[in-house]
Amino acid sequence: MQRTIVTDTSFLSRPSISADPADPLDAAIAQDLKETLAAHREECVGMAANMIGEPKRVIAFVDEGLGSAITVMFNPQITAADGEYDACEGCLSLHGKRHTPRFRRIEVDYTTRKGRARHATFADWTAQIIQHEIDHCNGVLI
């Protein structure tokens, strides 16, 4: 189900619940996140669950490495990063664009929708999207 985008910065600034990690039982949140992202595909390439009102560590993003398919990650954590640069980003939940530091290459530990632990490396645009969404999970706004 497509959800309304949260723009309340006090809600978005709160870190998502890490004491209650996301798991496959949160599949409905993941599906809503995918459908909401798909509905905003013209203006958005990634979303975190708090953007649809869910304080869970779940992100969805357009993965250029998979032919622009929407990928979902549960409890993503960046474990390594290199190649820092200055990015200028917008956000569906905020007005305008802002500068923020990003890394060209990141490694991420996460869980799939089926509960499988994964470790993957991402670069360039996809890495930037993932960093933005993990920031949302951490209550960090650009």
String of DSSP letters for 6-53: P--HHHHTSPPPSSS---GGGHHHHHHHHHHHHHTTTT-SEEEGGGGT
Residue 27 identity (one-letter amino acid): A
Exactly one of 42, 84, 107, 133 is catalytic; name it: 133
Asked whether 73 and 58 are in contact (CB, 8 A), the reply is: yes
133 is catalytic: yes
- Annotated catalytic residues are 133
